[in-house]
């Protein structure tokens, strides 16, 4: 593989709503550029980019993948990203290392939620963008309608560089407004032809729109244009490039990825209009936290950023990175600045879909991978000990759904634990927590599909089968009343008997205090040596719970009287007596269940506010406040955890994917009596079947 200077590289992310045709487009670009000899097909499972067995089975992209196309003296690293929200982590990682993006829009479906998301991710990461209106051959394809919708949403700086000749079943070619030429398109071929006479007016008016937009970015060009001087293709392309980079202009191209129509032009314009890796300044922080700019040259010290990790139980771990400065060499050492460890580097690879092309080194701006790094994870910066500059990590969205993992086979727990740890290394949006109160392992992620795929991967990669279930709520038990209660344990059986006898007072404590044991024995009614056993008996009962098997909290137990037997009393007997007293007293002292209440912050477009608030009421939620931010509304609320496990999924369907939320634990509150009854009944049933 030829080595390319940084100015000849393009790192281009392909983003879109799921199903708009990104993967097909990537395959078409690879085939069009000659990188592949055969056109991969997602429908037939022969895509070189969707190669994960889960991707082939489900026919959707799950993880971001990379492939490279060499085109007219340039190398384009294509980063295909998944379109479904569940895999947003992959999109974020990819956009971090992309210098430009192509947003693919389906000409028949027009602007979809995923299109809006793609747009806002590009904005968030400040990635210059182009739009490719795909599926021009599909029935109901409508270029102008799609274009108008885009312009209405995102402004009039969205400018077509091409107009279609016919559309849907009549789509035959395009007029290129930069070259001012028409082309008949056939699979992979473009044959120049006359601009159809009936298109003359619209071609003129869109050309003018394009020239006006291009002239804004370049004064000299503007002068020439105003004075009526002819402009070269290169001059116009350069101006479009500047405009694309500043965001003053978003070029729109069109075609059909599936029919291999218009794809070569897209390659041309990616090279001409999207920036090279050295065109904008990248900053990191040095040891003292100062911002420093990173020089994209071979001579500078190495600085590389890990944007993705793939773990495979057979091949090991594959670390994918982008070099920002210096040279990343095979058979060398690098220093992981985040983990502060030296890593031995073996063979460096370029990634072509599922294939790996060994290379001796990669330079600034380029993307590559290396296997078997020991400690490195996604988001780390790899450099040298002499230059400890760290790049900012990737920010991932908060989990939107949680489920409990239940092993299908007993004894698999350890294998599952190892598998989950590996999967978390490759997927930073996956979280695993062990809930000590309920004893469950909870996995949290971006949605149902994400969690489901996690279990498929556990099976495929680590050979362990699990089921998912709605997590148990970590309820707690406490009392509202004050009681005095007696516990007596007395057993006479042949030899030495058992005797323990206590009087205990139980009363509620403040929420901050879990348990207080008070010893008010005077005059030896309960001998000193048995008092710790009384406390222990109570504590052990508290852990097991009284009403429904949940731990008891916020309670004071005062031992104030009792009696003993000089021969038959023992620690064990007092422990049992205390436990009996506690259980009895607890039931008499107006017991209640407590449930975790979460702080919830929901971000939605204003039009959904009514629905969200209505739904929150149904979930026993309380709205605390609302405030507008960046054209959206932020709703602050509190709601019981039991009502919120599937909120992310339901919020998404209520808002067509436009809403998001974050949630964290705030405090415990009493469960309403009716619901508490159900919880108690459920726990009894569970005990019976266990």
Say what angle helices 263-273 and 22-32 make with each other, to 10 degrees.
90
* Contact between residue 36 and residue 125 where contact means Cβ atoms under 8 Å apart: no
Question: Which residues make Cβ contacts (< 8 Å) with residue 230, sequence separation at least 6?
Answer: none
Q: Which is nearer to ligand GDP, 66 or 546 (CB)?
A: 66
Left (φ > 0), alpha (ψ -120 to 50) or beta: where does 458 sit?
alpha
Query: d(Cα 32, Cα 27) in Å, to the nearest integer?
Result: 8
> Buried b / exposed e across 319-353, counting CB within 10 Å, b at 16+?
bbbbbbbbbbebebebbbbbbeeebebeebbbbbb
Looking at beta carbons only, is 18 or 188 nearer to ligand GDP? 18
Q: How far is the CB of 106 from ligand GDP (least distance, A)?
A: 8
Which one, 29 or 546, has the nearer CB to ligand GDP? Answer: 29
Placement of tokens 């340039």 in the chain = 74
Nearer to ligand GDP, 171 or 586 (CB): 171
Q: How far is the CB of 41 from ligand GDP (least distance, A)?
A: 7
What is the number of other CB atoms lying within 10 angstroms of the CB of residue 411?
A: 7
Q: Could you tell me which of 271, 204, 278, 188 has the C-alpha nearest to residue 234?
A: 271
**Least Å distance between CB 53 and ligand GDP?**
16
CA–CA distances in Å: residue 476 to residues 219, 511, 513, 636: 71, 12, 14, 25
**Which residue lies nearer to ligand GDP by CB, 61 or 77?**
61
Minimum CB separation of residue 259 from ligand GDP in Å reads: 6
Question: Which tokens is 143 given?
Answer: 């270029």
Q: How is residue 395 written in tokens? A: 């920010």
**What is the smallest separation between the CB atom of 260 and ligand GDP, expressed in angstroms?**
9
Binding footprint of ligand GDP on the chain (CB under 6 A): 16, 18-24, 42-43, 60-61, 83, 134-135, 137-138, 256-258
Q: Per the structure block, which two tokens stand in for 390? A: 């760290």
Q: How far is CA 641 from CA 527, 552, 561, 596, 664, in A?
A: 45, 19, 41, 6, 9
Minimum gap (Å) between residue 210 Cβ and ligand GDP: 24
CA distance 387 to 292: 11
- 191 CB contacts (<8 Å, ≥6 apart)? 183, 184
Min CB(80)–ligand GDP separation in Å = 7
Q: Which is nearer to ligand GDP, 21 or 379 (CB)?
A: 21
How many CB atoms within 10 Å of residue 179? 16
Shortest separation between residue 70's beta carbon and ligand GDP, angstroms = 22
Complex with ligand GDP: residue 43 or 201, whichever CB lies closer: 43
Q: What does the alpha-carbon distance between residue 378 and residue 306 come to, in Å, rounded to a whole number? A: 5
| Residue among 266 and 302 whose Cβ is closer to ligand GDP | 266
For residue 352, report the phi and psi dihedrals to the nearest 5 degrees: -120, 85
Shortest Cβ distance from residue 71 to ligand GDP (Å)? 20
DSSP character at residue 163: E
Interatomic CA distance for residues 529 and 533, integer angstroms: 8
Q: Give the ranges where 559-604 is alpha helix by DSSP (H).
A: 571-588
Q: Which residue has the tokens 């039991």?
A: 642
Q: Evaluate whether 193 touches 283 at the Cβ level (below 8 Å).
A: no
Shortest separation between residue 88's beta carbon and ligand GDP, angstroms:
14
Closest approach, Cβ 84 to ligand GDP, in A, equals 8
Q: Rounded to 5, what percent of the chain is helix, strand, coil? A: 30, 35, 35
By beta-carbon proximity to ligand GDP, the closer residue of 134 and 245 is 134
Which CB atom, from 132 or from 645, has the smaller least distance to ligand GDP? 132
Q: How far is the CB of 357 from ligand GDP (least distance, A)?
A: 23
CA distance 502 to 493: 21
H or E element at residue 137: none
Quick one: CA dihedral 95, 98, 100, 103, positive or negative? negative
**Nearest to ligand GDP of 167, 309 (CB atom):** 167
CB 535 within 8 A of CB 515: no
CB of 144 to ligand GDP, least distance (A): 18
Nearer to ligand GDP, 43 or 386 (CB): 43
Is 82 or 659 the residue whose CB approaches ligand GDP more closely?
A: 82
């Amino acid at each position: 593989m030829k080595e390319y200077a940084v100015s000849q590289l393009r790192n281009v992310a392909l983003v879109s709503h799921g199903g708009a045709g990104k993967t097909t487009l990537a395959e078409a670009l690879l085939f069009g550029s000659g990188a592949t000899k055969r056109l991969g097909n997602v429908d037939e499972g022969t895509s070189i980019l969707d190669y994960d067995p889960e991707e082939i089975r489900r026919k959707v992209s799950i993880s971001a993948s990379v492939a490279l196309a060499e085109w007219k003296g340039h190398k384009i690293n294509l980063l295909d990203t998944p379109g479904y929200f569940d895999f947003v982590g992959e999109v974020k990682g990819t956009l971090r290392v992309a210098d430009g993006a192509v947003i693919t829009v389906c000409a028949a479906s027009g602007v979809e939620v995923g299109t809006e998301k793609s747009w806002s991710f590009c904005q968030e990461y400040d990635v210059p963008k182009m739009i490719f209106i795909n599926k021009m051959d599909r029935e109901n394809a409508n270029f102008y309608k799609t274009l108008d919708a885009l312009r209405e949403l995102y402004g009039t700086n969205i400018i077509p560089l091409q107009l279609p000749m016919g559309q849907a079943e009549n789509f035959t070619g395009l007029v290129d407004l930069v070259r001012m030429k028409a082309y008949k398109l056939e699979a992979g071929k473009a044959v120049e032809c006359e601009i159809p006479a009936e298109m003359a007016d619209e071609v003129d008016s869109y050309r003018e729109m394009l020239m006006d937009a291009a002239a804004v970015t370049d004064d000299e060009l503007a002068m020439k244009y105003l004075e009526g001087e002819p402009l070269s293709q290169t001059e116009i392309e350069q101006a479009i490039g500047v405009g694309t980079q500043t965001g003053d202009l978003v070029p729109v191209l069109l075609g059909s990825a599936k029919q291999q129509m218009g794809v070569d032009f897209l390659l041309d314009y990616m090279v001409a209009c999207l920036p090279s890796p050295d065109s904008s300044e990248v900053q990191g922080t040095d040891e003292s936290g100062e911002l420093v700019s990173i020089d994209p040259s071979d001579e500078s010290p190495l600085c590389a950023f890990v944007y993705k990790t793939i773990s495979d139980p057979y091949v090991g771990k594959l670390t994918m990175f982008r070099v920002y400065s210096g040279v990343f060499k095979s058979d060398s050492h690098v220093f992981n600045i985040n983990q502060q460890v030296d890593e031995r580097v073996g063979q460096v690879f370029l990634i072509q879909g599922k294939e790996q092309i060994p290379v001796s080194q990669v330079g600034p701006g380029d993307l590559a991978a290396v296997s078997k790094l020991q400690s490195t994870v996604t988001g780390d910066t790899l450099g040298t000990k002499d230059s400890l500059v760290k790049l900012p990590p990737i920010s991932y969205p908060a989990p939107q759904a949680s489920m409990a993992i239940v092993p299908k086979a007993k004894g698999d727990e350890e294998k599952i634990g190892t598998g989950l740890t590996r999967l978390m290394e490759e997927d930073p949006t996956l979280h695993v927590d062990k809930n000590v109160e309920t004893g469950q392992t909870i996995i949290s992620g971006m949605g149902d599909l994400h969690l489901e795929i996690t279990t498929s991967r556990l099976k495929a990669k680590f050979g362990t089968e699990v089921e998912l279930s709605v997590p148990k709520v970590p309820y707690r038990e406490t009392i509202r009343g004050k009681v005095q209660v007696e516990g007596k344990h007395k057993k006479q059986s042949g030899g030495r008997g058992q005797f323990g006898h206590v009087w205990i007072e139980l009363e509620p404590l403040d929420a901050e205090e879990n348990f207080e044991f008070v010893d008010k024995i005077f005059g030896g009614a309960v001998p000193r040596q048995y008092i710790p056993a009384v406390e222990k008996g109570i504590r052990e009962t508290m852990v097991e719970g009284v009403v429904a098997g949940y731990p008891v909290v916020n309670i004071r137990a005062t031992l104030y009287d009792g009696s003993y037997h000089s021969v038959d009393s023992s620690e064990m007997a007092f422990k049992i007596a205390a436990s009996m007293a506690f259980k009895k007293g607890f039931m008499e002292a107006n017991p209640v269940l407590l449930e975790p209440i979460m702080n919830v912050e929901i971000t939605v477009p204003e039009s959904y506010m009514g629905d969200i608030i209505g739904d929150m009421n149904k979930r026993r939620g309380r709205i605390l406040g609302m405030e507008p931010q960046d054209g959206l509304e932020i709703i602050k609320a509190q709601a019981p955890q039991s009502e919120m496990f599937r909120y992310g999924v339901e919020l998404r369907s209520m808002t067509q994917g436009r809403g998001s939320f974050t949630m964290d634990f705030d405090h415990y509150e009493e469960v309403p009596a009716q619901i508490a009854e159900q919880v108690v009944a459920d726990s009894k049933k569970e005990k019976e079947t266990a």
